[in-house]
């Protein structure tokens, strides 16, 4: 399987599995919101995997992930691109939403990203 990821590009091409057939999906990298808040987010890593997390400063956290300082999982999978985020009222809400998203299947996460226009 061949992974095509271009650092700094607006679009990332990654393989996706659908009903045990290989198909290719394109994930659009989206800009971070400028203001601080409570966010749950999904990143697309260089190897095509998804990473879900929460933060109160999305721009800073994305930068930390891409410098290898964001967490063990993303440290070896740089660069990462933001493909989805939700703005929530409280830290607890963001943490709870992260927990729920992490329990979704890959296909369910893809559907979430595609159905939401990348943010809610």
pTM: 0.76
CA distance 44 to 79: 9
DSSP sequence for 91-112: HHHHHHHHHHHHTS-HHHHHHH
Query: What letter would DSSP give residue 119?
Result: B
Query: Both tokens of residue 41?
Result: 């987010």
Residue 26's pLDDT is 59
| φ and ψ of 68, to 5 deg | 80, 15
Is residue 96's pLDDT more than 60?
yes
Fold type of domain 29-115: GIY-YIG endonuclease (3.40.1440)
- Indicate the domain borders of the chain: 29-115
Query: Both tokens of residue 62?
Result: 């994305």
Confidence of residue 115 (pLDDT cuts 50, 70, 90): confident
* Better-predicted residue by pLDDT, 118 or 49: 49
* pLDDT (tens digit per residue) in 61-85: 999 999 999 889 999 999 999 999 9
CA distance 4 to 16: 12
Q: With beta carbons less than 8 A apart as the criterion, state whether 96 and 86 touch.
A: no
CA distance 63 to 10: 16
* pLDDT (tens digit per residue) in 12-56: 444 444 433 433 455 677 777 777 889 999 999 999 999 999 999
Query: Both tokens of residue 26?
Result: 């394109």
């Amino acid at each position: 399987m061949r992974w095509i990821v271009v650092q700094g590009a607006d679009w990332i091409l990654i393989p996706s599995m659908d009903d045990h057939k290989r198909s290719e999906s394109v994930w659009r990298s989206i800009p971070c919101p400028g203001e601080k808040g409570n966010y749950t987010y999904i990143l697309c890593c260089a190897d095509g995997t998804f990473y879900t997390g929460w933060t109160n400063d999305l721009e800073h956290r994305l930068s930390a992930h891409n410098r290898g300082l964001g967490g063990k999982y993303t440290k070896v999978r740089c660069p990462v691109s933001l493909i989805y985020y939700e703005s929530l009222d409280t830290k607890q809400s963001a943490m709870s939403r992260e927990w729920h998203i992490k329990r979704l299947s890959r296909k369910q996460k893809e559907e979430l990203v595609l159905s939401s226009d990348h943010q809610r």
